[in-house]
Amino acid sequence: MVEPGKLAALLATATDVLDDVSEAFVDGHRADSAVRKHGNDFATEVDLAIERQVVAALTEQTGIGVHGEEFGGAPIDSELVWVLDPIDGTFNYAAGSPMAAILLGLLADGEPVAGLTWLPFVGNRYTALAGGPVRDNGTELPPLEHTTLADSIIGIQTFNIDSRGRFPGRYRAEVLANLSRVSSRVRMHGATGVDLAYVAAGILGGAISFGHHIWDHAAGVALVRAAGGIVTDLAGQHWTAESKSALAAAPGIHEQILALVAAAGSPEDY
């Protein structure tokens, strides 16, 4: 485990680094696609520029390697590694939506021990170290309380009903249908990191991610756990850097969502 004083110093350095790239993030709003990736995914020039700047600054100032979405980098199973998503919600960002963020997590032997999520367009700067508390712009947020699904807003990823893969579209639709029967307040923000940060902040009661990319999850998992929330995969197993999905929620809500996910059956049956 990393010594708490060192973790606090690393968080302070990372905060400065993300602040330094926030202006470029805002200035690049509605940026065009620069790199076409899998399917209809893409990266903007701003993604690439922010990743280069953050990687260079963190490497120089902390001596810890960085694994970024666009260029890869240090292995995820390193003793210490920063995990960066320079723009979470790239489609939102390119379209002009404010639901886009910079995500930065610190993994120690695969476990998230620090999380930073910047939402520059709406002014949120969420930070946390393992054990909490979560702060927004330096102001301590209250820990998550035990609550119910019926009284909560839940975030879920967007999807194509005809998509295949590990979690087919029709399976996702069934999970969504089950959620709607208990909580009609389901939201699709189109940015996994935003959903997870909002769970940590108590804005969302829970969030479901059908994705497996570590850069989408590292920062948010650290935030949710620091807030007293629970993060597993969709099978209810403790979330790790190798997990292929994520379910993050406040106490009380997590077990309710998990039961509704289980009621959808096996993804292989869809």
Annotated binding site: 69, 85, 87-88, 216
Q: Which secondary structure element, helix H or strand E, spans residue 24, and what is its range?
A: helix 4-27
- Give the residues across from 247 on adjacent strands: 208, 232
Question: Which residues line the annotated binding site for Mg(2+)?
Answer: 69, 85, 87-88, 216
CA distances from 50 to 66, 83, 218, 233 (A): 13, 13, 18, 30
How many whole angstroms separate alpha carbon 268 and alpha carbon 270? Answer: 6
Q: Which residues contact 40 (CB under 8 A, 6 or more apart)?
A: none
How many whole angstroms separate alpha carbon 65 and alpha carbon 59? Answer: 6
In this structure, which amino acid lies at residue 212?
A: H
How many of the other CB atoms lie within 10 Å of CB of 36? 10
Q: What are phi and psi of 253, to 5 degrees?
A: -75, -40
96-129 CB burial, b ≥16 within 10 A, e <16: ebebbbbbbbbbbeebbbbbbbbbbbeebbbbbb
How many whole angstroms separate alpha carbon 167 and alpha carbon 85? Answer: 23
